[in-house]
Amino acid sequence: MAATADDTEEHTDASEPSPAPRGRRPGRIAMAVSVFGELLITAGLLLALFVVYSLWWTNVIADRKADKEAATVRRHWAHAADSGPGALDTKDGIGFLHVPSMKNGVVLVEKGTGTDVLNDGVAGYYTDPLKATLPITGRNGNFTLAAHRDGHGAKFHNIDKVKQGDPIVFETRDDWYVYKVFSILPETSKYNVKVIAPIPKESGAKKPGHYITLTTCTPVYTSEYRYVVWGELVRVEKVDSKRTPPAELR
């Protein structure tokens, strides 16, 4: 018997697939967790970029500026016709620090220990709270210096490599001042100004002399305490035309 139109229509409807059930929307808690996760990832990336900037890019910028200023100082020395104590100070720096055991090359020394000075990738000599005694004056005292340990050139990053007996040499236009390390203080309060006194008694020094003191932050990547190295002048050598370093630096 032939199928009726109604039968055909019913057969066609039966063969069509049933509509898929609608997916359930994620709840508010699930959405909040997802957003929070994305924020954490973004924060992590920003933190990573900040670390790269602080510990690497600031070094690049500071080293470039320090190299430029160092070149200016050396040009000044090469063309200066005068001599004497006044030849030491220039607006760009007073000389260069050589500490072979740090393996950080030649470090330009400038006036002051504020971040506006040290962030330029140099070492600075103290003017406050106690004023450093510059070696060129010939007077007894303490040539006190500071530099960053991390970021902004990190010129004293390897200060923990310095040992007793190691040389520290300060280079001026006319002379090499050769010091010998005699005492080290791995950790002290950042408020301990006695370490930069004219007679640094915490080093074991008991009488006036020609001292040099290097200070920087410790532990690494923090500024909670200070690391201190003391040296005493053992001799002064004249700078030759080729600026050949003293034997301790070769």
> What pLDDT score does 29 carry?
80
Q: For residue 84, report the phi and psi dihedrals to the nearest 5 degrees.
A: 100, -175
> Catalytic residue numbers?
148, 217
Q: Does 51-80+88-249 carry CATH code 2.40.260.10?
A: yes
Rounded to the nearest 5 degrees, what angle is found at the Cα of 182, between the Cα atoms of 180 and 183? Answer: 135
DSSP label of 53: I
First to last CA, the chain: 115
Assess contact for 107 and 63: CB atoms under 8 A.
no
User: Encoding tokens for residue 180?
Assistant: 């010998």
In terms of C-beta density within 10 A (0-12 exposed, 13-18 middle, 19 or more buried), how is residue 198 classed?
middle
What totals of helices (H) and strands (E) does the chain contain, helices first? 4, 8
Q: Quick one: how far is CA 75 from the chain centroid? A: 26
> What's the pTM value of the predicted model, to 2 decimals?
0.78
DSSP 1-32: -PPPHHHHHHHHHHHSPPPPPPPPPPPHHHHH
Per-10-residue mean pLDDT, the chain, length 250: 46 52 64 70 62 65 91 88 55 92 95 95 96 95 97 94 97 95 98 98 97 97 95 95 81
